[in-house]
Amino acid sequence: MEKRFNKMKQVYLESYGCQMNLADSELVMGVLAKAGYFPSDSPQSADVILVNTCAVREHAEEKVLGRIAELNRFKLKKPELVLGVLGCMAKHLGKVIAERAPYVDLVVSPDGYRRLPELIGQSGDKPYLDLRLDRTELYEEIDPVRKEGVNAWVTIMRGCDKFCTFCIVPYVRGRERCVPPDEILRQVRNLAEEGYKEVTFLGQTVNAYRYNGTDFADLLHLVSGVEGIERIRFTSPHPSDFSEKDIETIANLKKVCNHLHLPVQSGSDKVLKRMRRTYTSGEYLDLVGLIRDKIPDVGLTTDIIVGFCGETEEDFQATLALVRKVRYDSAFMFKYSPRSQTVAYRKFEDDVPEKEKGRRLEELIHIQESISREVNQTWIGKRVEVLVEGESKKDMSQFYGKTDNFKTVVFPRNGEKPGDLVEVEVVNSTSHTLLGRRV
Residue numbers of the site for ligand SF4 (CB under 6 A)? 160, 162-164, 167, 169-170, 204-205, 238
CB within 8 Å of 65: residues ≥ 6 apart:
97, 100, 101
CB of 251 to ligand SF4, least distance (A): 24
CB of 110 to ligand SF4, least distance (A): 13
Segment holding 110, helix H or strand E: none
Cβ proximity to ligand SF4, 144 vs 170, nearer residue: 170
Cβ proximity to ligand SF4, 341 vs 431, nearer residue: 341
CB of 270 to ligand SF4, least distance (A): 18
> Chain centroid to CA 35: how far?
27
Cβ proximity to ligand SF4, 205 vs 302, nearer residue: 205
Prior bond of 392 cis (ω within 30°): no
CA distance 232 to 254: 9
Cβ proximity to ligand SF4, 164 vs 188, nearer residue: 164
**Distance set, CA 267 to CA 77, 258, 276, 338, 373 (Å):** 53, 24, 13, 20, 22
CB of 160 to ligand SF4, least distance (A): 3
**Dihedrals φ, ψ of 271, to 5°?**
-70, -40
CA distance 424 to 439: 5
CB of 334 to ligand SF4, least distance (A): 12
Q: Report the side by side order of strands in the sheet with 299-306.
A: 259-261, 299-306, 330-335
If we measure between CA atoms, which residue out of 264, 247, 356, 354 comes closest to residue 301?
264
CB of 65 to ligand SF4, least distance (A): 23
Amino acid at 53: T
CA distance 273 to 278: 7
Between strands 299-306 and 259-261, the pairing is parallel
Cβ proximity to ligand SF4, 94 vs 203, nearer residue: 203
CB of 96 to ligand SF4, least distance (A): 21
CB of 424 to ligand SF4, least distance (A): 34
If we measure between CA atoms, which residue out of 210, 206, 198, 216 comes closest to residue 257?
198
The strand pairing partners of 352, in sequence order, are none
Cβ proximity to ligand SF4, 11 vs 206, nearer residue: 206
Cβ proximity to ligand SF4, 158 vs 407, nearer residue: 158
CB of 124 to ligand SF4, least distance (A): 34
If we measure between CA atoms, which residue out of 191, 245, 259, 248 comes closest to residue 223?
191
Cβ proximity to ligand SF4, 49 vs 305, nearer residue: 305
CB within 8 Å of 400: residues ≥ 6 apart:
388, 389, 390, 391, 392, 408, 409, 410, 411
Residue count of the chain? 439
Helix (H, G, I), strand (E, B) or coil at 153: strand
**Dihedrals φ, ψ of 33, to 5°?**
-60, -40
Cβ proximity to ligand SF4, 137 vs 391, nearer residue: 137
Cβ proximity to ligand SF4, 202 vs 352, nearer residue: 202
CB within 8 Å of 125: residues ≥ 6 apart:
none
CB of 56 to ligand SF4, least distance (A): 9
